[in-house]
Structure 1
Amino acid sequence: MSSRRIRLSIAYCFTLLSAIIPADILSAADTESIKVEVKENVAVPMRDGVILRANVFRPDRGGPYPVLVMRTPYGKSSRMDRYVKAGYIVVSQDARGRYASDGKWESFVRFNTHDAEDGYDTVEWAAKLEGSNGKVGTFGGSYNAFLQWRLAPLRPPSLVAMCAYSIPARYTDLEGPGTIRPGRRLHWWSVSMSPDMRRRAEREGTHARAAAQKEWTSGKSEHWLNFLPYLDLPQEVFEDEIKPVRDWLKNPHTDPWKLHKAVDQITVPNLNIIGWWDHCNGDLMLDRAIRSEGGSQVARKGSRTIVGPWSHAGLGRRRYGNIDFGPQAVFDMTDYQIRWFDYWLKGKQNGIDKTASYRIFVMGDNKWRDEPDWPLERAQDKVLYPGSDDGANTPAGDGKLAVDLPSQQGTDNYRYDPDNPVPSLHGERLFQIPTDQRPLAKRQDILVYQTEPLAERIEVTGNPTVELYAASSAPDTDFIVRLIDVHPDGLARDVSLGVVRARYRQGLDQPSLIQPESVVKYTIRMNPTSNAFLPGHRIRLDITSSDFPNYDRNHNTAANQNADAELKIADQTIYFGSKYPTRIVLPWIKSE
Structure 2
Amino acid sequence: MTKQLKYLLIIPLWSLFLFVDAQETQNTSYIRQEVMIRMRDGIKLHTIIHRPAAILEKLPFLLSRTPYGADQFIAPDKNDYVGPMAKEGYIFVNQDIRGRYKSEGKYVMMRPAHPKGSKEIDESTDAYDTIDWLLKNIENNNGKAGMYGISYDGWTAIMGTVKPHPALVAVSEQASPADMYMGDDFHHNGAFRLSYGFEYVFSQEAAKTDTTFSFPVYDTYDWYLKLGPLSNINEKYIHHKLPTWNNFVQHPDYDAFWQKQAVANQLDTSHVHVMNVAGWWDQEDFYGPLKIYETLENKGAGKKNTIVIGPWNHGQWAYWAGDQLGNIKFGSPTSDKFRTEIQAPWFAYHLKGKGEGRFPKAITYQTGSNAWKTYSEWPVSEVTPKNIYFHAGGKLSFETATQAEGSYASYLSDPSHPVPYRPRPIEATFQKGSRWSSWLAEDQRFVKDRPDVLSFETEPLLTDITVSGKILANLYAATSGTDADWIVKLIDVYPEGYKAEPKMGGYELIVASEILRGRYRNGFEQSKAIPANKVELYPIDLHQMNHVFKKGHKIMVQVQSSWFPLYDRNPQRFVPNIFKTREGDYQKATHKIYTSKQYPSSITLPIVKE
> Normalising TM by the smaller chain, what interval?
0.7 to 0.9
Overall identity of the aligned pairs, in %: 30
Q: Which moved more, 1:238-247 or 1:62-71?
A: 238-247
Q: Which residue of 1 aligns with 2:265?
A: 261
Cα separation, 1, equivalents of 2:238 and 2:52: 40
Q: Which residue of 2 aligns with 1:558?
A: 574
RMSD of aligned residue pairs (Cα, Å) = 2.6
CA gap 1:224/1:574 in 2 versus in 1, 3 angstroms: closer
Equivalent AA in structure 1 for residue 191 of structure 2: T
8 Å Cα contact 1:186-1:237 kept in structure 2: no
Residue 115 of structure 1 pairs with residue 123 of structure 2: yes
8 Å Cα contact 2:463-2:551 kept in structure 1: yes
Q: Which residue of 1 aligns with 2:287?
A: 282
Cα separation, 1, equivalents of 2:222 and 2:313: 23
Cα separation, 2, equivalents of 1:415 and 1:221: 20
CA gap 1:376/1:177 in 2 versus in 1, 3 angstroms: same
Q: Which residue of 2 aligns with 1:518?
A: 534
Cα separation, 1, equivalents of 2:130 and 2:574: 47
Q: Which residue of 1 aligns with 2:44?
A: 51
Q: Which moved more, 1:93-102 or 1:423-432?
A: 423-432
Q: Which residue of 2 aligns with 1:16?
A: none
8 Å Cα contact 1:384-1:403 kept in structure 2: yes
CA gap 1:161/1:219 in 2 versus in 1, 3 angstroms: same
Q: Which residue of 1 aligns with 2:275?
A: 271
Q: Which residue of 2 aligns with 1:10?
A: none
Q: Which moved more, 1:542-551 or 1:316-325?
A: 316-325
Per-residue CA distance 1:157-176 (angstroms, 9 max, x = gap) = 11111011112321212121
Residue 66 of structure 1 pairs with residue 60 of structure 2: yes
Q: Which residue of 2 aligns with 1:135?
A: 144
8 Å Cα contact 1:475-1:556 kept in structure 2: yes
Residue 509 of structure 1 pairs with residue 506 of structure 2: no
8 Å Cα contact 2:59-2:89 kept in structure 1: yes
Cα separation, 2, equivalents of 1:273 and 1:464: 20
Residue 338 of structure 1 pairs with residue 344 of structure 2: yes
Per-residue CA distance 1:518-560 (angstroms, 9 max, x = gap) = 1111111112111101111111111111112232221112112
Q: Which residue of 2 aligns with 1:403?
A: 399
Matched position secondary structure for 1:341: helix
Q: Choose the corresponding residue for 1:422, options 411, 419, 424.
A: 419
Per-residue CA distance 1:106-137 (angstroms, 9 max, x = gap) = 11277877322212111212222222222110
Deviation at 1:265, TM superposition (A): 4.4
Deviation at 1:56, TM superposition (A): 0.7
Residue 485 of structure 1 pairs with residue 492 of structure 2: yes
8 Å Cα contact 2:448-2:454 kept in structure 1: no
8 Å Cα contact 1:310-1:433 kept in structure 2: no
Cα separation, 2, equivalents of 1:236 and 1:55: 40
Residue 186 of structure 1 pairs with residue 198 of structure 2: yes
Matched position secondary structure for 1:66: strand
8 Å Cα contact 1:448-1:540 kept in structure 2: yes
Deviation at 1:572, TM superposition (A): 0.5
Cα separation, 1, equivalents of 2:197 and 2:382: 37
Of structures 1 and 2, the larger Rg is shown by 1
Q: Choose the corresponding residue for 1:148, options 137, 157, 167.
A: 157
Per-residue CA distance 1:393-451 (angstroms, 9 max, x = gap) = xxxxxx44342323434111101112211111288463453221111122111111111
Deviation at 1:303, TM superposition (A): 2.2
Q: Which residue of 2 aligns with 1:314?
A: 316
Q: Which residue of 1 aligns with 2:20?
A: none
CA gap 1:65/1:215 in 2 versus in 1, 3 angstroms: farther
Cα separation, 2, equivalents of 1:226 and 1:145: 36
Cα separation, 1, equivalents of 2:322 and 2:51: 29
Per-residue CA distance 1:183-204 (angstroms, 9 max, x = gap) = 322232234x24542x6xxxxx
Q: Which residue of 1 aligns with 2:299?
A: 293
CA gap 1:406/1:550 in 2 versus in 1, 3 angstroms: farther
Matched position secondary structure for 2:227: coil
Equivalent AA in structure 1 for residue 263 of structure 2: L
CA gap 1:341/1:216 in 2 versus in 1, 3 angstroms: farther
Deviation at 1:214, TM superposition (A): 7.4
Per-residue CA distance 1:35-77 (angstroms, 9 max, x = gap) = 110013x111011111111111001122321111110001111
Q: Which residue of 2 aligns with 1:21?
A: none
Residue 372 of structure 1 pairs with residue 360 of structure 2: no
1:143-222 to structure 2, matched below 5 A, reads: 143-172=152-181, 173-174=183-184, 175-191=187-203, 193-194=204-205, 196-197=207-208, 209=211, 212=212, 218=218
Q: Which residue of 1 aligns with 2:464?
A: 457
Equivalent AA in structure 2 for residue 167 of structure 1: S
Q: Which moved more, 1:403-412 or 1:370-379?
A: 403-412
Per-residue CA distance 1:241-298 (angstroms, 9 max, x = gap) = 723431333323332422123332432011122111223122712112212315xxxx
CA gap 1:408/1:219 in 2 versus in 1, 3 angstroms: closer
Deviation at 1:224, TM superposition (A): 5.4
Cα separation, 1, equivalents of 2:239 and 2:131: 30
Equivalent AA in structure 2 for residue 78 of structure 1: F
Cα separation, 2, equivalents of 1:552 and 1:585: 28
Cα separation, 1, equivalents of 2:215 and 2:305: 41
8 Å Cα contact 1:437-1:493 kept in structure 2: yes
Equivalent AA in structure 2 for residue 329 of structure 1: T
Matched position secondary structure for 2:364: strand
8 Å Cα contact 1:381-1:586 kept in structure 2: yes
Matched position secondary structure for 1:118: helix
Q: Which moved more, 1:319-328 or 1:158-167?
A: 319-328
8 Å Cα contact 1:116-1:151 kept in structure 2: yes
Matched position secondary structure for 1:439: helix
Deviation at 1:86, TM superposition (A): 2.3
Q: Which residue of 1 aligns with 2:603?
A: 584
Cα separation, 1, equivalents of 2:540 and 2:223: 32
TM-score, length of structure 1 as denominator length: 0.84
Cα separation, 1, equivalents of 2:39 and 2:598: 63
Matched position secondary structure for 1:301: helix
Matched position secondary structure for 2:478: strand
Deviation at 1:333, TM superposition (A): 4.3
Deviation at 1:453, TM superposition (A): 0.6
Cα separation, 1, equivalents of 2:229 and 2:38: 41
Deviation at 1:507, TM superposition (A): 1.7
Cα separation, 2, equivalents of 1:538 and 1:220: 33
Q: Which moved more, 1:258-267 or 1:142-151?
A: 258-267
- Which fold has the larger relative contact order, with Cα–Cα distance below 8 Å and residues 6 or more apart in sequence? 2
Q: Which moved more, 1:406-415 or 1:332-341?
A: 332-341
Deviation at 1:217, TM superposition (A): 7.7
Cα separation, 1, equivalents of 2:468 and 2:251: 34
TM-score, length of structure 2 as denominator length: 0.82
Q: Which moved more, 1:323-332 or 1:60-69?
A: 323-332
Q: Which residue of 2 aligns with 1:536?
A: 552
Q: Choose the corresponding residue for 2:97, options 62, 72, 95.
A: 95
Equivalent AA in structure 2 for residue 562 of structure 1: F
Q: Which moved more, 1:421-430 or 1:431-440?
A: 421-430
Equivalent AA in structure 2 for residue 507 of structure 1: G
Matched position secondary structure for 1:57: strand
8 Å Cα contact 2:328-2:441 kept in structure 1: yes
Cα separation, 2, equivalents of 1:240 and 1:388: 49
Deviation at 1:238, TM superposition (A): 6.8
Per-residue CA distance 1:344-388 (angstroms, 9 max, x = gap) = 010001x4x322111111111011111122222112112121112
